[in-house]
Amino acid sequence: MALIAIIVGAYDLPKCRECESVHIDPQFQKVFGCLVCNRCKDDKPEKYSLLTKTECKEDYLLTDRKFAHATFITRSLARCTAELRDHELLPHLLKANPHSTTWNNMMLFLRYQIEDYAFKVKWGSEEKLDAEYERRAAMKKDARQKKFQKDLRQLRKRTKESIWQDRRDQDHVHEFGVVERTGPRGQGVQRCMTCSFEVEVEEL
């Protein structure tokens, strides 16, 4: 009977989703709800490798920020704007940041779960994600070009005004008024009546 119980118990154990091994990675099972053994996890990095939050945002265009006025929109929409913060939607593993102990913990996501959500739920397909990526890249390029043109126009305007002022200064002829005494022995100042340019004078 004991042998039968052991055999039946073995059938009740969780099995790897790839090879049906019972040697499941306990961390992946607990954090991601993913039944996979260490061998399959290492053999198939295209499915079971871990992605950082930055990689999820940049490569799959997911977000971790909610709207500033989330109280004015539905809860489901508010959640969709912060996919990477929703542990039920996209589970993540917290790990100490290797770059500095004072930085926030790293958020690591399971690749196949991120791809399933990005391709099937958020964007509809891998092709649509690529199209959105290209659209955003074009918008950034256009914004940079507009900023460059604006800065160039401002530079030309400043240069033109500077040249105009220089020419005006060169053409200007000072017209000095009366001497304003500032000290003994005939010391004083004469100012131009149009541009306020002043010179020191000393009467003999």
The string of pLDDT tens digits covering residues 147-186 is 988 888 888 888 877 777 777 666 667 777 666 766 666 6
**How many domains, the chain?**
2
Whether 87 is covered by a domain: the verdict is yes
Coil, strand or helix: which one is 126?
Answer: helix
112 and 17 housed in the same domain: yes
pLDDT reading at 141 higher than 80:
yes
Report long-range pairs for 41-46 (Cβ below 8 Å, ≥24 apart): 44/18, 45/111, 46/111
Mean of the per-residue pLDDT values of the chain: 81
**Structural domain range at position 179:** 173-204
Q: Which of 110, 137, 164 is the last residue of a domain?
A: 137
132 and 63 housed in the same domain: yes
Question: Which pLDDT score is estimated for 175?
Answer: 72
14 and 107 housed in the same domain: yes
42 and 117 housed in the same domain: yes
Please name the residue that has the structure tokens 């996979």: 36
Whether 148 is covered by a domain: the verdict is no
Whether 181 is covered by a domain: the verdict is yes
35 and 117 housed in the same domain: yes
pTM value is 0.62
CATH of the domain at 114: 3.90.530.10
Question: Which pLDDT score is estimated for 76?
Answer: 47
Q: How far is CA 58 from CA 25, 62, 137, in A?
A: 28, 8, 11
Whether 1 is covered by a domain: the verdict is no
